Structure 1
């Protein structure tokens, strides 16, 4: 009787929400592995790396959350609270509310999604080919009134120093990408957690996988390799290479990281090596831009200042994706629009999942 009543006391909505997050991720993983194109042992290694990394990040984020909560209570109560008391309170609350599922689901979902997407992008997506680069390049030029977008960014942000700053900013994206999902594990706002994690998972699945398959393009930096070449993108890559040489000659560290990363992706794509972290080539739609928009949407729900800061971040990521040759401008625009649609759809889904289910709770209790 105790077990049944204990389960009845758990928040059914929270359990449904966590189940939806995990269920979507499991279905995606099953579909990719079920293709028969992904070596199981290589996928297992990828998943293991992501699981260990995200587990460690979750613990670090928990320590930071504890410090912030201690500081908040000290200001409010005028005395330092017991960290152990706060931890006990948190553990008791999460156990009674959802059996720790709301704490564990975000990092587990992240590990499954990232490992599966890596496998999809490297083992399956190349079979779609890259036959839409010319179309997206033409759309870009039409959108910018006959000028290639990269020409505009390089006129406004010209020179090696500006490009190095953009490069450093652009490739620091992994930190908010992972921290955003880990923060969800500690959020008090169940609706925001559910909406964000579902949006995160569905963005990788629908934008990064389904639409990437339907709209295959390699991107400006790979135009010469996969789309037959074009003088405009050859000029872009020559410009970046010139900046890189100038930076290296001036002692500017390792130069432009984008160029080295692009070459590494191309080398791996043309080889037959095992699955690697961050491997694979795809431009449309841009997951880099999609997740930057997702950060902004989530940030607006937490704090207006944070939200506006993240919108500025998203715009800079879009500019950087064009400036460094990773994406066509249309890649980021499409990704942003799709992410907003997914966000609002997942908001409605979160409302439905978290709705109280008193009849079910009553049934569980009466059954005993």
Structure 2
């Protein structure tokens, strides 16, 4: 039994090795910069361990088991627990491998936010807001798109729905699919998805964001001194969830302290980028799923400008970069030697008694 467990765990770790190596390399770079910068208040590792750990190791597994229990009741009311069996050593090995991936995801998100929190200090502020805002207006017919979108969708009920979607629903769409793919998918697809996930955050939210650092319309007045440009748009958001979170981010920025989701950067948009990545993977399953995914990309793109988080060009850039990353990964994996047949079999159900 022990040999079967270790064999499965070893194969799982070996198959996901490129992802783990990427996470560790990213972390080493971030910790090196953090040490050089000598400001350890920017470290966000503990916050993500405290918040994401219970989600991936307790909350989502509990929801998965509850779902299987409910399904068992409907399928076989007389024996709703008939699906429960003792976990095999191979299943336990796969679950241990999945736990290692979730641990890497938590570590990666801590590194991502740590670096994002440091970016304004590394770049001595936000140097690109004026040029990005002007370019955004140029592409939108000579006017800033955010205020124009607010004039169209400024109804309080519409704003409330879009606020909930941009914060709560998007968070689930960004992080929950990863849980099920890591548990249930096998072979190249699982590795390609995890690498795509990490690359989107690292390339968009760290590399490009630091090179072209901007704060976005919500903080335009703070970083340029021109508070009037987006004032009317931002007043429509007063006392809402978005305004509260924007205040939280700015206060953390002023104190140079890291927390869950902290760090300010507009260009490009990780919200749009992650949504685009999931839409591209959905398109691989079916045209209908892909259509719904791309429709959601459009909603997130418009919402990002509506709420003052981003200029529209942030989303345009994210869509293009993620598309290029997705195509590059598919070609890279297509050029790799085919995996053994057993690596491509669906994972056994992670249900345990």
TM-score by length of 2: 0.82
Residue aligning to 2:149: 153
| Pair 1:298-2:281 in alignment | yes
Q: How far apart, in 1, do the equivalents of 2:42 and 2:234 lie?
A: 37
Question: What is the alpha-carbon distance in structure 2 between the residues aligned to residue 156 and residue 214 of structure 1?
Answer: 33
Q: How many residues align?
A: 333
Confirm or deny that 1:32 pairs with 2:62: no
Deviation at 1:29, TM superposition (A): 0.8
- CA shift, 1:185, in A, is 1.6
> Does residue 1:340 correspond to 2:323, yes or no?
yes
Aligned residue for 1:174?
Answer: 171
Residues 41 and 333 from structure 1, CA distance in 2 versus in 1: closer, same or farther, beyond 3 angstroms? closer
Find the partner of 1:261 among 237, 245, 254: 245
| Correspondence 1:190-339 to 2 at 5 A | 190-229=187-226, 231-238=228-235, 240-241=236-237, 244=238, 255-272=239-256, 274-339=257-322
Aligned to 1:135: 131
Contact 1:199 1:343 in 2 (8 A): yes
* Contact 1:21 1:105 (8 Å CA) reproduced: no
- Tell me which residue corresponds to 1:63: 65
Distance of aligned partners of 1:325 and 1:311 in 2 relative to their CA distance in 1, 3 Å threshold? same
Equivalent position to 1:144, from 137, 140, 146: 140
Range moving further from structure 2, 288-297 or 151-160:
151-160
- Tell me, in whole angstroms, the C-alpha distance in 2 between the residues paired with 1:106 and 1:152: 43
Asked if structure 1 preserves the Cα contact closer than 8 Å seen for 2:147 and 2:232, the reply is: no
C-alpha deviation, 1:11, in angstroms = 8.7
Question: Are residue 46 (structure 1) and residue 47 (structure 2) matched?
Answer: yes
Following superposition, the deviation at residue 224 of structure 1 comes to 0.3
Following TM superposition, by how much is the alpha carbon of 1:195 offset from its aligned partner in structure 2, in angstroms? 1.6
Question: Structure 1 residues 69 and 187 mapped into 2: Cα distance closer, same or farther (>3 Å)?
Answer: farther
How far 1:287 moved relative to its partner? 0.7
Q: Distance in 2 between matches of 1:149 and 1:69?
A: 46
- Verify the 8 A CA contact 2:95 2:183 in the aligned structure 1: no
Structure 1, gaps ≥5 residues long: 245-254, 359-368
Structure 1 length-normalised TM: 0.79
Cα separation, partners in 2 of 1:66 and 1:301, compared to 1, 3 Å: farther
Report the CA distance between 1:70 and its aligned residue.
5.3
**Structure 1 residue matching 2:133: 3-state secondary structure:** helix
Give the structure with higher Rg (CA). Answer: 1
Secondary structure at the aligned position of 2:184 is classed as coil
Moved more, 110-119 or 53-62: 53-62
| Rounded Cα–Cα distance in structure 2 between residues aligned with 1:217 and 1:33 | 23
Q: Please, which runs of 5 or more residues in structure 2 have no aligned partner?
A: 342-353
CA separation of 1:108 and 1:323: change in aligned 2, threshold 3 A: same
